[in-house]
Structure 1
Amino acid sequence: MSETDLTISELRRRFAEKSLSPLEYWLALEKHIDRWEPTICALYAFDRDAARRQAKASTDRWWRGETLGLLDGIPVTLKELIATKGQPVPLGTRATELKPATEDAPVAARLREDGAVIFAKTTCPDYGMLSSGLSSFHHLTRNPWDVTQNPGGSSAGASAAAAAGYGPLHIGTDIGGSVRLPAGWTGIFGFKPSHGRIPVDPYYVGRCAGPMTRTVDDAALAMATLSRPDWRDGTSLPPNDLDWTSLPVGVEGLTIGLMLDAGCGLAVEDEILAAVEQAAFRFEQAGAKIVPVQPVLSRSMLDGLDAFWRSRFWGDIETLDEERRKSILPYIYSWALGAAGISGVEAVRGFNQTIEMRKSCGRLFSEVDAVLSPTNPIVSYPADWASPTNDPARPFEHICFTVPWNMSEQPAASINCGFSKSGMPIGLQIVGPRFDDLSVLGLSKAFETWTGGVTSWPQPPIS
């Protein structure tokens, strides 16, 4: 194993025994990133000098035995939408006027408190409104498993960086699947916690932040830092005493729903169905009761959400001058224009469909302890497509397995459960009851233990 493949726990052990320092690790990781980055373009605001200073300061703290927290010296990236003081937040689009952020967002603040080495932001599409690595501001982000293919999004750069081994921890955001979808398409572990578990600013209906890692343990360990409350998020959950380092991994006696039909959207490809069914069989072998369950999403719910999101987004960009509006990625601008004819009453009716999703999810979880489903309905799609349909009139056909759990505020994760004949990763989604984040992490850890996880990751191009 290369030093650049070490987990957070392994790094902490090496730092403590002084067989590797945070600065030595960072310098090795920097070279690894340099080999990959020209090809996959995962980063924005990559600051080597700042990273070296942070790593040197952490090295000094480890030497003195005065570390700040669990993530002291651990390199981490933040999705570009997560503000860091002094850096602009382009929102993935050329339409944004670049102004330095005046303060760290909650996630960035928690990481700095614990001494993490924040070395870059990661790319996202315009306004985070695509499941794609395509942006009018950033270079095209590609999937390390096959650079002709898309990493998904909107946490595109975070997923590509994790799969390519840019350190053990990357933070994305998720309002309809933007952590889990790209995690599925890049073979990593992506965790969307219960709403409010990780404070975000600005917060919004369904919007969460979550860790994107190669292992379940790395994501769980990061939660101890990321889940500290912040007053700026009005939905921030109270302080918790959850033991993020000791996950429950037993499944015997659980009733787990198997959802193979999302209710609408793109049909699930056969290779994905087979991989998810095989994953469910592993849970059954371990003592869980697997029961088929019906979809929680309907066409009217998805169309209502589309109308609501279009209206909200049109309100955000309506005041931009014509030149700035025209600089938005055409796919997204075309989608937003559809809101011009939506009335306020229709927009509210659309919002009401998020409540219907919540009710539907709650009804299902009165009968089951957890749910398994595909994360993504298709194996992959071209790198330069704006979405899996590449059609702004059908923008959300791929989020039907993921978006209901944002609206119901339940924890959900994507973990690799196999590979397609073309060599692309396949994601299994695991969903748990509201606030029971540890159960989702525990089920994910159990599955990772049974399968051994991904053991062979993409290698950088030969220079």
Structure 2
Amino acid sequence: MSLADLTATELLRRYRERSLSPVEVLEDVLARVDQLEPHLCATYALDPEGARAAARESEARWRDNTAGPLDGVPVTVKENIATRGTPVPQGTAATELIPAAEDAPAAARLRAAGAVIFSKTTMPEYGMLSSGVSTFHPLTRNPWDVSKTAGGSSAGAAAAAAAGYGPIHVGTDIGGSIRLPAGWCGLVGLKPTHGRIAVGNPYPGRAIGPLTRTAADAALALSVMSGYDPRDHTSYPPPPENATLQNTDLVNADLENAASAPESALRPGLRVALLLDAGLGLPVDPEIAAAVSAAAAVLEKAGAIVEPIAPIITREMLDGLDRFWRIRSATDIAALPEERRAKVLPQILDWVSTAGELTGADVFHGYSQMGAMAAAVTAAFRSHDVILSPVAPITAFPAELAYPTDDPAKPFEHIAFTVPYNMSAHPATTLNAGWSTTGLPIGAQLAVPHHQDLTALALAGYLDSALSDHRPWPTQL
């Protein structure tokens, strides 16, 4: 196995043993990037020399026994998470390229933990697409099939994780932007409880979380990035469990136990809601329904009580959110100078073109649907401990399409399984539950009550070990 494909937990073990150096690992990762990046276009502001210097510093800290909890681990950060000195174009040519003055909270915590941030990753136009289509970045593609999208808006993060650009990649999620690309690229993607990881520029529904190949690596990244930051009034101090998470051995033990002993992840009588029909949007592909049902059967065999449930959200809720986001984006775009406004992706301009037809009542009602979604999800958790569903109703769609519907008037027909948990602030994670007949990953989603992020990851780790069809990662294109 290439060093670029080692998990973060394995790298840290090898660093502690002095059997491996961060410098060696980074060179392998950069070689992988050189090999695959012409096909995938996942990176932005790649900084090999800065990363090499950081890796040498990490090597010295391991030698001096002063290493941090992620010391020497190669990490990428999504383009819209500010890193000092790098512009934040938000995926669009319409943005002025002004270097960020400081690291956003998540990036700062990663650096403080010793992570080697060697690159940013790409995102689509304003982060408002579930694809890699952008007027600023080259088109990002899926390593499993380069004719397909890697998803979005954490497009580059997902492509980089699947292709082995190191073990930990950090994305953002406001309607599924971590979980959709993670599902379409066969990854663990965690949207944590809102406030657990400080965003820095909070907005209703917005969260930051890891995209990784394993649940253990996601837990490790979560532990490092968690915590209060005064730049984000929605953030809060780490929960008590995080005291143990600072020890990476304990993170590994917790998740490895969950993978090897069902009772450690599945308490007796765990109530699992099986949601196979979102009740709106694109129909669920039968292959996806079958894969998620098979995951439910694994949990049931291990002692869980699995019950199908009716759809959680309604057409009114999703359409209301669309109207609110439409007017929000239209307002932002209208404030741009004309020459910059003309650079915005045509599909986004088409989407916001009807915003002027909305009344104040329409916009207020749309805003209220965020609360309506939150109430609907909260009600579902009164009778269930876990909600298991597809991540998306379809597998990865053609890379060149901005939307899976190819219709700016219907942009959100694929997010009905993911967006409710943004509005309700509940944690939700993905895992690869199977494969389509064309060899594309099929993602399953596990949503859990607030602050039970590790429960979701432990269940994902268990299911990953119990579902037998594991395929080699797409590191040769």
TM range (shorter): over 0.9
Q: Secondary structure at the match of 1:212?
A: strand
What is the CA distance between 1:459 and its match in structure 2?
Answer: 2.4
Aligned to 2:259: none
Q: Secondary structure at the match of 1:15?
A: helix
What is the CA–CA distance in structure 1 between the aligned matches of 2:103 and 2:140, rounded to whole Å?
A: 25
Aligned to 1:9: 9
What is the CA distance between 1:454 and its match in structure 2?
Answer: 3.7
Q: Is this contact kept in 2: 1:187–1:454, CA < 8 A?
A: no
1:277 pairs with 2:268: no
Q: Is this contact kept in 2: 1:251–1:283, CA < 8 A?
A: no
Q: Is this contact kept in 2: 1:254–1:289, CA < 8 A?
A: yes
- Greater mean alpha carbon deviation, residues 339-348 or residues 141-150: 339-348
Q: Is this contact kept in 2: 1:416–1:453, CA < 8 A?
A: no
Letter in 2 for 1:21: S
Aligned to 2:199: 200
| Structure 1 residue corresponding to 2:425, chosen from 406, 409, 413 | 409
What is the CA–CA distance in structure 2 between the aligned matches of 1:185 and 1:419, rounded to whole Å?
A: 10
Q: Secondary structure at the match of 1:275?
A: helix
Q: Secondary structure at the match of 1:133?
A: coil
| Structure 2 residue corresponding to 1:360, chosen from 364, 372, 376 | 376
Q: What are the equivalent positions in structure 2 for 1:184-333 lying under 5 Å apart?
A: 184-242=183-241, 243-244=244-245, 245=251, 246-247=254-255, 248-333=264-349
Deviations 1:88-144 (CA, angstroms, capped at 9, x unpaired): 000000000110111110111101111110011100001100000110100000000
Letter in 2 for 1:13: R
Aligned to 1:100: 99
What is the CA distance between 1:259 and its match in structure 2?
Answer: 0.3
Aligned to 1:39: 39
What is the CA–CA distance in structure 2 between the aligned matches of 1:362 and 1:66, rounded to whole Å?
A: 44
Q: Is this contact kept in 1: 2:69–2:113, CA < 8 A?
A: yes
Q: Secondary structure at the match of 1:96?
A: coil
1:142 pairs with 2:158: no
What is the CA–CA distance in structure 1 between the aligned matches of 2:158 and 2:268, rounded to whole Å?
A: 32
What is the CA–CA distance in structure 2 between the aligned matches of 1:288 and 1:251, rounded to whole Å?
A: 8
Aligned to 2:458: 442
What is the CA distance between 1:441 and its match in structure 2?
Answer: 1.2
What is the CA–CA distance in structure 1 between the aligned matches of 2:164 and 2:193, rounded to whole Å?
A: 27
1:50 pairs with 2:50: yes
Letter in 1 for 2:173: D
| Structure 1 residue corresponding to 2:394, chosen from 375, 378, 384 | 378
Q: Is this contact kept in 2: 1:250–1:446, CA < 8 A?
A: no
What is the CA–CA distance in structure 1 between the aligned matches of 2:4 and 2:40, rounded to whole Å?
A: 17
* 1:299–1:418 distance in 2 versus 1, CA, 3 Å: same
Deviations 1:270-294 (CA, angstroms, capped at 9, x unpaired): 1101111111000000000000111
Letter in 1 for 2:146: V
What is the CA distance between 1:452 and its match in structure 2?
Answer: 5.4
What is the CA distance between 1:252 and its match in structure 2?
Answer: 3.0
Letter in 2 for 1:418: G
What is the CA distance between 1:180 and its match in structure 2?
Answer: 0.3
Runs of 4+ in structure 1 deviating by more than 4 angstroms, as ranges, are none
Aligned to 1:132: 131
Give the TM-score normalised by the residue count of structure 2. Answer: 0.95
Give the CA RMSD over aligned residues. Answer: 1.1
What is the CA–CA distance in structure 2 between the aligned matches of 1:403 and 1:419, rounded to whole Å?
A: 23
What is the CA distance between 1:239 and its match in structure 2?
Answer: 2.9
1:399 pairs with 2:415: yes
* Ranges in structure 1 where 5+ consecutive residues have no aligned partner: none
Aligned to 1:342: 358
What is the CA–CA distance in structure 1 between the aligned matches of 2:464 and 2:240, rounded to whole Å?
A: 25
Q: Is this contact kept in 1: 2:266–2:304, CA < 8 A?
A: no
| Structure 1 residue corresponding to 2:404, chosen from 380, 383, 388 | 388
Aligned to 2:76: 77
What is the CA–CA distance in structure 2 between the aligned matches of 1:324 and 1:341, rounded to whole Å?
A: 23
Q: Secondary structure at the match of 2:353?
A: helix
What is the CA distance between 1:455 and its match in structure 2?
Answer: 4.3
Give the TM-score normalised by the residue count of structure 1. Answer: 0.98
Letter in 2 for 1:124: M
Aligned-pair identity in percent equals 53
* 1:453–1:189 distance in 2 versus 1, CA, 3 Å: farther
* Ranges in structure 2 where 5+ consecutive residues have no aligned partner: 246-250, 256-263
Deviations 1:154-174 (CA, angstroms, capped at 9, x unpaired): 000000000000000000000
